[in-house]
Structure 1
Amino acid sequence: MNSVEIANELKDLLNGTNIHVQLSVPQLVEKATSRGEAILTVDGALRAETGKYTGRSPKDKYTVEEESTKDKIDWGKVNRPISSEVFEKLYVKVVNYLKERDELFVFNGFAGADKDSQIGIKVINEYAWHNLFCHQLFIRPTTEELATHKTDFTIVSAPNFKADPAVDGTGSETFIIVSLEKKVILIGGTEYAGEMKKSIFGIMNYLLPEQGILSMHCSANVGETGDVALFFGLSGTGKTTLSADSDRKLIGDDEHGWSDNGVFNIEGGCYAKTINLSAEKEPEIYNAIRFGAVLENVVVDENTRICNYDDGSLTENTRVAYPIDYIENIAKPSVAGHPQTIVFLTADAFGVLPPISKLTKEQAMYHFLSGFTSKLAGTERGVTEPEPVFSTCFGSPFLPLPATVYAEMLGKKIDEHGAQVFLVNTGWTGGEYGVGSRMKLSYTRAMVRAAIEGKLGNVETTQDAVFGLHIPTAIEGVPSEVLNPRDAWADKDAYDAKAKHLASLFNDNFKKFANVSEDISKKGGPLV
């Protein structure tokens, strides 16, 4: 099938009598509840359960191997190839399946707040609540924009369509297939809504660098004086929490581009973890949970409809999706200048990395390429406790191009704009997972605030003996014994052994970057 034939199949599908296009939030809520897809909570939010798929399914994600793009893709465990033949046969099956549904829901919107690089997207959903999710997370068009909307990429989502691996050529009943040439994302066999969001992010990670724009898995905010801060990190490391600061305007919580004009949000909403959420610790997120917000897998009392955010019995990866304007203090539009502060967030399950350290240029590039963190419970299928992982550029599951493309662009941006870079550990302290405790959010906020306000530029530091990181000796609001991780461990010998073990993991992982300059590999990494 060529692109015209693909488009004709879509046109035929969209001309059906079962199509609802651009329903309002109240209409989608009514549809979702009347169809039994979800329930309303006491706060007015819509709560849905996603069944056995409560996180992304990376082993079921594929990119179609096509002549026009195959030489650009970084093929491997992340970008797994699938043939055009497999894609086209599944595509026809899914479209025919959707034609037989009683109702389908269509959303037209955008990705990218920068008008120069913005793409038009169309989402076709089997579920009303999925359509509401997309309505809230992508950029919503004005009436004028809707009248002239042009679709660049289309998501076709059929969660109840299950593939037959023996017949359809997939690895399981689930599939997330991206065709860059046909400009279609085909999703089936999973009810986890995050697959739609991240698929569009992957598309932007392919398109933006070709325009000289760095695409980033990060949150961003801006101060009253226009000072911009970026927060890189994988799911669960604190991007959303730390960027939602009442004293700073939120640009976005997860996906951004950095062009010659500055930073812009790729999305129109936020997708925050809610496990152990409280009004005291995260008031911005807590207060955003109201009518129009979409909760995933949050346990709700059947009678009172009160949410129990401490209950992770369905999954630790409980989530809420809401439009960015549910946050009171936001940048309008979602664009700002060039960053002065860049924060790399890691959730170190070993408990040996400092809670904050200032990085040299070489260390910044090393840690960006390494992307060390711990994969937290629930973010992917089968993950039930933290697992150490190296995720290149703090977002390798979403990067179709070689990692060095993004790293070289970031290094150039740091040089051009003089940004200071910090590594912040939001993981464990006083011992590894199971022994120590998670770093207090209040301490992390105090450290990050000090970095953004420029208070750590010339402070006294000590150099970590294993990783070579420069650790501030004093930060207001943070106990001094917390700042140096070795001091927080009762058993110093156990700390030393664990630190050297993590250093060896860093060194082994970095061997895959054979083409990186010696300055980065020798000066940026561990000293041992």
Structure 2
Amino acid sequence: MKTHIDVHSSVDLILEGEVCRNLSAAQLVEKALERKEGQLASNGAFRATTGKFTGRSPKDKYIVRDPEIEDKIDWGHVNQPMEPETFDHLFQKVSQYLRKRDVFVFDGFAGADPAYRLPIQVINEYAWHNLFARQLFVRPNKEELKLHKPQFTVVSAPDFQADPERDRTRSETFIAISLKHRIILIGGTRYAGEIKKSIFSIMNYLLPEKSVLPMHCSANMGPEGDTALFFGLSGTGKTTLSADPERSLIGDDEHGWSDQGIFNIEGGCYAKCIGLSQEKEPQIWNAIRFGSVLENVVLDEEQQPDYADGSLTENTRAAYPIQHIPSARIPGVGGHPKVILFLTADAFGVLPPIAKLTPEQAMYHFLSGYTSKLAGTERGITEPEATFSTCFGSPFLPRPAGVYAEMLGEKIAQHHVRVYLVNTGWSGGPYGEGNRMKLAYTRSMVKAALNGSLEQANFTPDPIFGIHVPDRCPEVPSEVLVPRNTWKDPKAYDAKAKELAQRFQENFQRFTNINEAIKKAGPQVD
């Protein structure tokens, strides 16, 4: 029997295999085990491996160059163009590939706020990918499911590989977004994170048109209703630091900021697992149970997860519904933030572990988005690599950076938000010489920033970076707060700090038509 699935008013999939719609987590686990897609870990989570692709493939991501969006996209190495006929050709090939295969369909939403949520549909070749989608996005109730009409569809066929010569792709892998057809086509990669991030890219395109700022950040809320945002790239600590037993978790990775406040774009969490321990991260540890997905985590002979083993990748992951976090706020909405923290994993080891930013410095560092890509988070990354990712989310921003930066600047000013830069990276030396900042210290600094006690310190501008460094923080040794004091050789620190400052300056030259006060808010070095 043939099944037609409408993915757009003029496009549909014709399927002759079994179509499994909106299965429960238990049903999807059963299907995945039956199809030998993975195995159960001792904690009840479903564990799968993704082969050679254990992170995103940003060089294989495309946006279809339709006339309707031509002047709205920031075309370049992040948003690579694909011709409409190339996309149509690929869609037909993927359709033929899936025609006689069983597929799994999830209907849900991106966006916890009903006023701004996007109805989505995810069609998967793998049962465990559909479980991933079910746990990561917002799940509808029975009444919402009856009325559900998807406005965007993801079609994921991991085992279909493109022919670069015939299909005009860079490699066998592709993540192709058609804003006209409202379809995301994924092939040639088993890494489930591509599903999640492609929807985030769509929200980054759509939400500004509704005067909503999309943000690559986590968010939580204190007992008094005070909301905080944690910006940062993968591995900088968004999930870990926002999972605070003393605060309610709104979401761990993607949010929108509307005129009413903050809302989570997702319905689940996607935590890095490397080095995970029950002692340091009890909420995440306990969240990984039946219904969760473990990605590329090594299991021992008793099928217990070995979170210290990075032999498959440093980018081991766990996906679980946000309800697995006891303090989760359901639905994932909150008020306007009081505090924003920019998280950076500084591989140079020269930025202070926490510093206060002026409004101009906040805009400078938001546009700069300095951090380190950590091993495994992207294809080809094997050790920390210094990078600048505009708005702390450059790989997912279809529009020019100024669109997002201007919106953030307006909201910071309107709501009188305090902004801090937090270095979760190295101290006492660069990567390979120094040590990663102790999580206990970072937690204490974040707590002090959120409850306002950090404001009791005396702040001194850093002589190179200009950001304002506190002289004390509860439960943190004072010498840790000034990075130069943690290096054995202060002159080596000075040289490395100037090297990073020059990188900041070189990177910022690409921004034109920027307010002069913002330009001068960056590091000053000849």
| TM-score normalized by the length of structure 1 | 0.97
Task: Pick which of 451-460 and 177-186 moved more.
Answer: 451-460
The residue aligned with 1:45 is: 45
The residue aligned with 1:153 is: 152
Aligned length, in residue pairs: 522
The residue aligned with 1:104 is: 103
**Which residue type is aligned with residue 457 of structure 2?**
V
Matched, 1:297 2:299: no
The residue aligned with 1:76 is: 76
The residue aligned with 1:456 is: 454
Matched, 1:365 2:363: yes
Distance (Å, rounded) in 2 between the aligned partners of 1:176 and 1:11: 18
The residue aligned with 2:390 is: 392
Distance (Å, rounded) in 2 between the aligned partners of 1:388 and 1:82: 29
**Aligned-pair distance for 1:7?**
4.3
The residue aligned with 2:381 is: 383
Q: What is the CA RMSD across the aligned residues, in angstroms?
A: 1.2
Distance (Å, rounded) in 1 between the aligned partners of 2:400 and 2:370: 17
Is residue 463–residue 469 contact of structure 1 (8 Å, CA) maintained in 2?
yes
Is residue 28–residue 132 contact of structure 1 (8 Å, CA) maintained in 2?
yes
Distance (Å, rounded) in 2 between the aligned partners of 1:81 and 1:392: 20
Distance (Å, rounded) in 1 between the aligned partners of 2:456 and 2:448: 12
**Aligned-pair distance for 1:458?**
4.2
Distance (Å, rounded) in 1 between the aligned partners of 2:189 and 2:173: 6
Post-superposition CA distance 1:133-162 (Å, at most 9, x none): 000000000000000001000000000000
Identity %: 64
The residue aligned with 1:325 is: 323
Taking structure 1 as reference, are residues 43 and 385 closer, same or farther at Cα in structure 2, changes over 3 Å only? same
The residue aligned with 2:309 is: 311
**Which residue type is aligned with residue 476 of structure 1?**
P
The residue aligned with 1:119 is: 118
**Aligned-pair distance for 1:523?**
2.6
The residue aligned with 1:204 is: 203
**Aligned-pair distance for 1:368?**
0.3
The residue aligned with 1:214 is: 213
- Aligned residue for 2:172, secondary structure, equals coil
Post-superposition CA distance 1:247-290 (Å, at most 9, x none): 00000000000000000000000000000000001111100010
Is residue 7–residue 13 contact of structure 2 (8 Å, CA) maintained in 1?
no
Distance (Å, rounded) in 1 between the aligned partners of 2:7 and 2:282: 49
The residue aligned with 1:348 is: 346
Distance (Å, rounded) in 2 between the aligned partners of 1:371 and 1:344: 8
**Aligned-pair distance for 1:8?**
5.2
| TM-score normalized by the length of structure 2 | 0.98
**Aligned-pair distance for 1:6?**
5.3
Structure 1 consecutive aligned stretches of length 4 or more whose deviation exceeds 6 Å: none
Distance (Å, rounded) in 1 between the aligned partners of 2:337 and 2:116: 19
**Aligned-pair distance for 1:336?**
0.5
Is residue 430–residue 436 contact of structure 1 (8 Å, CA) maintained in 2?
yes
Post-superposition CA distance 1:292-328 (Å, at most 9, x none): 0000000002x31111000000000000000000000
Is residue 506–residue 526 contact of structure 1 (8 Å, CA) maintained in 2?
no
Matched, 1:434 2:399: no
Please give the residue correspondences for 1:20-35 in structure 2 after superposition, counting only pairs within 5 Å: 20-35=20-35
Is residue 502–residue 525 contact of structure 2 (8 Å, CA) maintained in 1?
no
Distance (Å, rounded) in 2 between the aligned partners of 1:8 and 1:409: 35
Distance (Å, rounded) in 1 between the aligned partners of 2:257 and 2:456: 27
- Aligned residue for 1:12, secondary structure, equals strand
The residue aligned with 1:10 is: 12
The residue aligned with 2:55 is: 55
Taking structure 1 as reference, are residues 6 and 332 closer, same or farther at Cα in structure 2, changes over 3 Å only? closer
Post-superposition CA distance 1:370-413 (Å, at most 9, x none): 00000000000110100000000000000000001000000000
Is residue 472–residue 483 contact of structure 1 (8 Å, CA) maintained in 2?
yes
**Aligned-pair distance for 1:17?**
4.3
Distance (Å, rounded) in 1 between the aligned partners of 2:11 and 2:481: 59
Distance (Å, rounded) in 1 between the aligned partners of 2:165 and 2:290: 43
**Aligned-pair distance for 1:527?**
5.2
Distance (Å, rounded) in 2 between the aligned partners of 1:275 and 1:524: 33
Post-superposition CA distance 1:426-462 (Å, at most 9, x none): 0000000000000000000000000000112242012
**Which residue type is aligned with residue 391 of structure 1?**
S
Distance (Å, rounded) in 1 between the aligned partners of 2:95 and 2:247: 45
Is residue 49–residue 297 contact of structure 1 (8 Å, CA) maintained in 2?
yes
**Which residue type is aligned with residue 23 of structure 1?**
L
- Aligned residue for 2:229, secondary structure, equals strand
Select which of 520, 523, 526 maps to 1:522.
520
Structure 1, unaligned stretches of length 5 or more? Answer: none
Distance (Å, rounded) in 2 between the aligned partners of 1:9 and 1:220: 37
Distance (Å, rounded) in 1 between the aligned partners of 2:243 and 2:521: 34
**Aligned-pair distance for 1:518?**
0.3
Distance (Å, rounded) in 2 between the aligned partners of 1:9 and 1:24: 28
- Aligned residue for 2:190, secondary structure, equals coil
- Aligned residue for 2:383, secondary structure, equals coil
- Aligned residue for 1:10, secondary structure, equals strand
**Which residue type is aligned with residue 218 of structure 2?**
S
Post-superposition CA distance 1:477-515 (Å, at most 9, x none): 111110000000010000000000000000000001111
- Aligned residue for 2:32, secondary structure, equals helix
Distance (Å, rounded) in 1 between the aligned partners of 2:211 and 2:454: 31
Distance (Å, rounded) in 2 between the aligned partners of 1:439 and 1:251: 25
- Aligned residue for 2:520, secondary structure, equals helix
The residue aligned with 1:130 is: 129
Is residue 38–residue 46 contact of structure 1 (8 Å, CA) maintained in 2?
yes
**Aligned-pair distance for 1:524?**
3.8
Is residue 14–residue 95 contact of structure 2 (8 Å, CA) maintained in 1?
no
Post-superposition CA distance 1:323-358 (Å, at most 9, x none): 000000011210000000000000000000000000
Is residue 250–residue 329 contact of structure 2 (8 Å, CA) maintained in 1?
yes
**Which residue type is aligned with residue 12 of structure 2?**
L
